[in-house]
Structure 1
Amino acid sequence: MATQQKPKTAEQVKAEFKAKGLTVTKWAKDNGFEPTSVSQVLNGFAKGNYGKAHDIAVALGIKSREPVAA
């Protein structure tokens, strides 16, 4: 059985971007998302519970695609 990786925090993602010299805009365009939407997820304005914000959160590693067993 595969182990599920622990989701990252938005702060961890921002730190990774900074360490790699990667901008939110560059990451967003490379992954097919609107930069504004990615910024909203990273800054907590969009919670990423459903829709495009959820897709972004999953791509960033903030949320798991699979539901977590209770």
Structure 2
Amino acid sequence: MTNTVKTANQIKLEFHQQGKTISSWAKENGYSRTDVSRVINGLAKGQRGKTLEIAVKLGMVIL
């Protein structure tokens, strides 16, 4: 099993391929669309708290 960090473009492509939106993913995972969008677009660094949880679930950060 390889642990690779995903880029924002990879996540957006996966969402597109799965027919998901940021809003639908956020709702499914109990986060606000704004917080998820900020993490994906690099406006929130995802270093602690809720944004870190989001980044980990998206695969943008590996703990």
Query: 1:55 deviation in Å?
Result: 0.4
Q: CA deviation at 1:32?
A: 0.7
Higher helix proportion (structure 1 or 2): 2
Instruction: Please report the RMSD computed on the Cα atoms of aligned residues, expressed in angstroms.
Output: 1.0
Could you list the runs of 5+ residues in structure 1 that have no partner in the other structure? none
1:13 aligns with 2:17: no
Identify unmatched segments of 5+ residues in structure 2.
none
TM-score by length of 2: 0.93
User: Which residue matches 1:27?
Assistant: 25
CA–CA separation in structure 1 for the residues paired with 2:58 and 2:30: 12
Instruction: Provide the aligned length of Structure 1 versus Structure 2.
Output: 63
Distance apart, 1:43 and its partner CA = 0.6
State the identity as a percent. 48
Tell me the equivalent position of 2:46: 48
